Structure 1
Amino acid sequence: MSLDQLLLSIPPLAVYLVVALVVMVESMGVPLPGEVTLVAAAILSSRHQLDVSHLWVAVAGTAGAVVGDSIGYGVGHHVGRRLLVWLRHRFSRHFGAKEIAYAEAVFTRHGVWAVFFGRFVALLRIFAGPLSGVLRLPYHRFLPANALGGATWAFATTYGIYVLGTVAEQWLKAFAWAGLAAFVVGSLLASTLLGRRVRRAVDHFAEHHPKAVAAVEAEG
């Protein structure tokens, strides 16, 4: 079976469900590749013979983001800082003491704006729901920022990739899926560079605020 035949055999509903599920679980605080999944689905929607709707990809991404963040908020609100301790031990690569201290400083300082703009940054996207709950950000303020941020992120990403993917399909016909695969890699490069910039910001914060990092480490 060729790659084209394999992709044509995937039901569009399965694509939407996978996008919603992966983004939802990531938003709950589990480090999964939500953005990569959304981008991949948007690329599929740009291949018109696959019958995958870019509108429903964006809707699925929005639903996953809003529901996942809300679940993460609820858990963080009821469990408190014990959730951060559990995450630090369970996913130490993503939830180290300095990452938690940095994210907590950002969310404490910027509040709902951190919820909105954090949707566009991998590290803060994972923290948004659980940490907002831990910090007792009022839910009536959290929900609008969460919904608007999730919708903006999902629709902007999906429609941007869809438009670029449609153009790329016309220019890269001779390269078929190999060309589009290269396009996917290129489209994710900006996100990777942003992630590195955030990583440098985390290291800079830890260097200048050692007491905040030590306080997180002392929690368990």
Structure 2
Amino acid sequence: MHFEFFSLETIQEWTQQYGYWVVFFGIMLENAGIPIPGETITLVGGFLSGNGELRYSLVLLCAVSGAILGDSAGYWLGRWGGVEALAKIGKFFRLPSNEIELARKKFLGSADRAVFFGRFVAILRVFAGPMAGLSGMSYPRFLFFNSTGALVWGTVTTGFAYYAGRLLPIETLVSGALKTSVVFLSVVMLWFAAPLVFQWFKQKFASQKQITVVENLPESEFATSAKDD
């Protein structure tokens, strides 16, 4: 949940006034667990670079470096703070502790994908770092996928805002980006859910096959099998 005073007009005004610092600290604080609309701030930075108020290369540098540092802070928070620290972050989003624990367990089997693709989804972007630290993922491994994801995300986000901002007003630009983020969230959820669904069907098929075999056993064999048990 973002603070209400972070309106699009306010973000644009701050970015015009303070420039690259707003982009850097905005995305860094969001990735560290503070509920700030970092992606919207980055889009505004890219938009302003498209109309010549800021330099694109510096906006990209601030977005990527802020994302890496913010997620790294989240990683060490999870590594040192454990479940209690993660639960405090969850309170910002009104997520109960049992849901956070369930997410942590699911995270263990897909840490690399979660760190990389979580960069593109607001909620996952906040929790990927702490979850990685909490799950025991090594920092060099985390840093690789975190940096790679930040570079791809930063390039796509600022590049989109840079070029699309020349044709669209900022309101339409941000609205379109948010809709795209929802679609990407659906794709990521499908990515993570597919193995679980496959495993469920596999177990169900195996159980059904076992029941069928037992039902087809002759009564004498079934009685012998039951007697042995």
Give the TM-score category using the shorter length: 0.7 to 0.9
Q: Would the alpha carbon gap of residues 130 and 44 (structure 1) be closer, same or farther in structure 2, given more than 3 Å must change?
A: same
Write the distance in 1 (CA, Å) between the matches of 2:88 and 2:57: 37
Whichever residue aligns with residue 183 of structure 1, its letter is: L
Determine which of 58, 74, 77 is the counterpart of 2:76: 74
Write the distance in 2 (CA, Å) between the matches of 1:196 and 1:114: 14
Instruction: Judge conservation of contact 1:62–1:151 (CA < 8 Å) in 2.
Output: yes
Gaps of 5+ in 2: 1-8, 197-229
* Relative contact order, higher structure (CA 8 A, sep 6+): 1
Instruction: Judge conservation of contact 1:103–1:124 (CA < 8 Å) in 2.
Output: no
Aligned to 1:29: 33
Q: Deviation of residue 114 (structure 1)?
A: 1.3
Whichever residue aligns with residue 75 of structure 1, its letter is: L
Aligned to 1:10: 16
Instruction: Judge conservation of contact 2:161–2:173 (CA < 8 Å) in 1.
Output: no
Write the distance in 1 (CA, Å) between the matches of 2:70 and 2:111: 18
Aligned to 1:39: 43
Q: Would the alpha carbon gap of residues 119 and 16 (structure 1) be closer, same or farther in structure 2, given more than 3 Å must change?
A: same
Runs of 4+ in 1 over 4 A off after TM superposition: 193-202
Q: Would the alpha carbon gap of residues 180 and 142 (structure 1) be closer, same or farther in structure 2, given more than 3 Å must change?
A: closer
Q: Would the alpha carbon gap of residues 161 and 29 (structure 1) be closer, same or farther in structure 2, given more than 3 Å must change?
A: same
Q: How many aligned residue pairs are there?
A: 186
Normalised by the length of structure 1, the TM-score is 0.72
Determine which of 166, 179, 182 is the counterpart of 1:189: 179
Write the distance in 1 (CA, Å) between the matches of 2:156 and 2:57: 11
Deviations 1:51-102 (A, max 9, x none): x0111111101011110111111121111111122223x3143x33465245
Deviations 1:129-153 (A, max 9, x none): 1111111111111111111111110
Whichever residue aligns with residue 137 of structure 1, its letter is: M
Instruction: Judge conservation of contact 1:43–1:162 (CA < 8 Å) in 2.
Output: yes
Instruction: Judge conservation of contact 1:119–1:150 (CA < 8 Å) in 2.
Output: yes
Whichever residue aligns with residue 89 of structure 2, its letter is: L
Write the distance in 2 (CA, Å) between the matches of 1:15 and 1:63: 15
Aligned-residue identity in percent: 34
Instruction: Judge conservation of contact 1:75–1:130 (CA < 8 Å) in 2.
Output: yes
Query: Is 1:65 matched with 2:71?
Result: no
Aligned to 1:91: 92
Q: Would the alpha carbon gap of residues 113 and 15 (structure 1) be closer, same or farther in structure 2, given more than 3 Å must change?
A: same
Q: Deviation of residue 165 (structure 1)?
A: 1.8
Whichever residue aligns with residue 114 of structure 2, its letter is: A
Q: CA RMSD, aligned part only?
A: 3.2
Q: Deviation of residue 43 (structure 1)?
A: 0.9
Structure number with bigger Rg: 2
Write the distance in 1 (CA, Å) between the matches of 2:189 and 2:97: 13
Aligned to 2:137: 137
Write the distance in 2 (CA, Å) between the matches of 1:99 and 1:54: 39
Q: Would the alpha carbon gap of residues 33 and 99 (structure 1) be closer, same or farther in structure 2, given more than 3 Å must change?
A: farther
Deviations 1:195-215 (A, max 9, x none): 57779999xx9xxxxxxxxxx
Whichever residue aligns with residue 189 of structure 1, its letter is: K
Normalised by the length of structure 2, the TM-score is 0.69
